[in-house]
Amino acid sequence: MRTIDISMPVAPGMPSFPGDPEVVVSPVWRLAKGDGYNLSTWSFGSHTGTHVDPPRHFADDGATADHLDLDVLNGPCVVVDVDPSARAVAARDVARVPPGATRVLFRTANSARWARGIPYFPDYVALAEESVGPLLDHGVRLVGIDSLSIESDPSGRYPVHRRLLSAGALILEGLRLAEAPAGPYDLRCLPLRLASADGAPCRAVLVAP
């Protein structure tokens, strides 16, 4: 068995979605200054790096990050490769999801760009709206992708987020899948237990058979 960390390191200067808070770390106590221990203040947004989108992200009465079903976020999953030249995750990519799979992570050209140290790029590969219906029809309960947002929607309507979350499917964003070839894995994902939060950063790993 091999464990693959698919999380983004959280640090000042890391890529962030436009308009989201940046990571700020401020020292409080430091051994180098004669204090008894090291301690810092960390400030960042609820959708920083690798994170889970709960229903509250788009619905005031939706479930918050501290009330998510952890069984949905942990268990067998499948990584599906998307053609590196593709500009979106299309319905034909969904068609390659194995029968019975309820957790799907899409590995696109984004992962290779993250691996090369490229900062935030606006032309990221996202999930096409046409793919949402087939995913839900397939019975998928968790959809993950290697972009900071699962959709690219200049209109600001966010139909992909709204359709998935309203149907009870969770969204896992900000993955780094360069070291995770397509195939079956065991996903282990624990979002921070932030009370009443509209999102939560998480540590996500894949256990390869």
Task: For residue 114, give the H/E element and its range.
Answer: helix 109-115
* Residue pointed to by tokens 């999102």: 199
Q: How far apart are CA 177 and CA 125, in angstroms?
A: 13
* 205 vs 157: CA distance, rounded Å: 31
Matching residue, tokens 């950063």: 201
The H or E element that residue 162 is part of is helix 159-166
Contact (CB, 8 A) for 160 and 21: no
Beta strands in 39-132 (DSSP E): 39-43, 51-53, 75-81, 88-89, 103-107, 126-127
Task: Tell me how far apart the alpha carbons of residues 151 and 22 are, in angstroms, rounded to a whole number.
Answer: 21
Q: Is 138 tagged catalytic?
A: no
CB-facing half-sphere around the CA of 45: CA atoms within 13 A = 18
| Active-site hit among 51, 57, 138, 161 | 57
**Residues with a known catalytic role:** 57
